[in-house]
């Protein structure tokens, strides 16, 4: 079976890229012929390991990622993108095409290949867009998107809470998976007094909430540190760093991008998540697989579908910084509770094991 993945690039670290790499490696290892089509890889190496048997094709459209896809400089590249994609798909002659990004591939694929089975993966929540006031323009855009979604053989979302936001009957729910190994288990006694957070520096991640929660408790725990990993919006990062400096908040650090997040999880004592919305964050799966207790907002809709409250972590009312700080302090003070959560995390993560979840994908392909 020939499977094609369409995306923009796989040189920047991100959840979509990591999940896609995992799936591609699994499928290649299990006998599938997998092709990856990108629009702007620019000759850069993959940010995550990809099996050498993967067939990679870069269309070299090279959209300007600093601008909207709908600006003139990007819009004029659409015909080139369309024609190159059409030629490449004809050359590959796939059985299934999977679109997992937010570029023009979404509109092209179901039109270009009417005889091929097509799948659109969604990795973000529609919680907020479903609640915002709709202008006439936004209503037209939604109708336009819905028209194309119905053209796909299947739309795949990450949890059941997302199903209600789609006006189509071709929805499948398949969560993200994680590779669970015995090597992930670490001696709890070796964990250091580190609170870990990770993700792109973007408003949705609300790292300012974590900073303000830490501000309320750090004076009592001078031997504890908060480490935030990730890069993104440089302007926002400067604003966050300014808050830390102005408030004279100690022991909280932006650590940049790392290729060793798993190792960081093995030595940390807590994982903190303060996002305004999360669909199904890989970082929470990774935390549980490393026995890392989690303190998280009830960010629609991911954390509640991963964390078992008061069993392998704690869920806090969304945007309640005071409650988050209170729960954080309780966990810092209660080593036995953290140890209990750590043990449960190793057990509970098994429902998201790679083999279990990838069987759902194979069933979808075979259907």
Average pLDDT over the chain reads 93
pLDDT, residue 315, reads 98
pLDDT, residue 97, reads 97
Q: How confident is the model at residue 11 (pLDDT cuts 50, 70, 90)?
A: very high
pLDDT, residue 133, reads 79
pLDDT, residue 42, reads 94
pLDDT, residue 256, reads 93
CA-to-CA separations, 355 to 17, 308, 365, in angstroms, rounded: 19, 22, 15
Q: How many CA atoms lie within 13 A of 234 on its CB side?
A: 1
- Average pLDDT of span 225-236: 95
Please provide the DSSP assignment of 192-215 as one string.
-SEEEEES-BSGGG-HHHHHHHHH
Tell me the per-residue pLDDT of 236-247, one tens digit each, with 9 for 90 and over.
999 999 999 999
Give the lowest-confidence range in 59-68, 170-179, 242-251.
59-68
* Whether the Cβ atoms of residue 316 and residue 295 lie closer than 8 Å to each other: yes
User: Rounded to an integer, what distance in angstroms lies between the CA atom of residue 276 and that of residue 164?
Assistant: 19
Tell me the per-residue pLDDT of 316-367, one tens digit each, with 9 for 90 and over.
999 999 999 999 999 999 999 999 999 999 999 999 999 999 999 999 999 9
Checking if the pLDDT of 302 tops 80, the result is: yes
| pTM reported for the whole predicted model | 0.87
Question: Number of H helices and number of E strands within the chain?
Answer: 12, 13
In terms of Cβ atoms closer than 10 Å to its own Cβ (0-12, 13-18, 19+), residue 197 is buried
| Higher-scoring residue by pLDDT: 74, 34 | 34
Q: How confident is the model at residue 180 (pLDDT cuts 50, 70, 90)?
A: confident
pLDDT, residue 184, reads 78
Percent of residues in the chain assigned helix, strand, coil, to nearest 5: 45, 20, 40
Tell me the per-residue pLDDT of 212-221, one tens digit each, with 9 for 90 and over.
999 999 999 9
Q: Is 310 left (phi over 0), alpha (psi -120 to 50) or beta?
A: left
**Please, what are the domains in the chain?**
2-177+354-366 (3.40.50.2000), 182-351 (3.40.50.2000)
Q: How confident is the model at residue 161 (pLDDT cuts 50, 70, 90)?
A: very high
Checking if the pLDDT of 131 tops 80, the result is: no
């Amino acid at each position: 079976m020939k499977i094609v993945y369409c995306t923009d690039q796989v040189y920047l670290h991100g959840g979509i890229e990591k999940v896609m790499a995992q799936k591609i490696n699994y499928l290649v290892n299990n006998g599938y012929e997998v092709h990856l089509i990108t629009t702007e890889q620019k000759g850069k190496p993959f940010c995550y390991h990809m099996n050498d048997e993967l067939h990679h094709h870069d269309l070299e459209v090279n959209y300007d990622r600093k601008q909207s896809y709908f600006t003139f400089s990007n819009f004029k590249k659409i015909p080139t993108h369309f024609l190159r994609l059409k030629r490449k798909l004809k050359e590959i002659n796939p059985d299934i095409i999977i679109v997992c990004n937010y570029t023009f591939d979404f509109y092209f694929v179901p039109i270009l290949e009417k005889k091929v089975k097509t799948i659109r993966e969604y990795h973000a929540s529609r919680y907020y867009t479903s609640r915002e006031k709709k202008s006439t323009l936004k209503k037209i855009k939604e109708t336009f998107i819905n028209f194309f979604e119905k053209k796909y053989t299947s739309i795949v979302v990450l949890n059941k809470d997302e199903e209600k936001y789609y006006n189509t009957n071709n929805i499948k729910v398949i969560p993200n998976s994680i590779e669970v190994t015995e090597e992930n288990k670490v001696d709890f006694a070796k964990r250091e007094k580190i609170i870990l957070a990770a993700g792109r520096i973007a408003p949705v991640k609300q790292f300012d909430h974590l900073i303000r929660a830490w501000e309320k408790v750090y004076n009592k725990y001078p031997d504890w540190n908060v480490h935030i990993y990730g890069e993104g919006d440089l302007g926002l990062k400067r604003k966050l760093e300014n808050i830390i400096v102005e408030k004279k908040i100690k022991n909280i650090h932006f650590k940049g991008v790392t290729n060793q997040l798993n190792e960081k999880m093995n030595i940390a004592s807590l994982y903190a998540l303060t996002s305004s919305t999360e669909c199904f964050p890989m970082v929470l799966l990774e935390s549980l697989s490393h026995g890392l207790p989690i303190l998280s907002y009830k960010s629609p809709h991911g954390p509640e579908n991963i964390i078992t409250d008061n069993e392998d972590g704690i869920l806090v009312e969304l945007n309640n910084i005071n409650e988050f700080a209170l729960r954080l302090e309780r966990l810092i003070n209660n080593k036995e509770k953290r140890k209990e959560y750590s043990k449960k995390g190793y057990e509970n993560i098994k429902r998201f094991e790679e083999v279990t979840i990838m069987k759902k994908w194979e069933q979808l392909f075979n259907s």
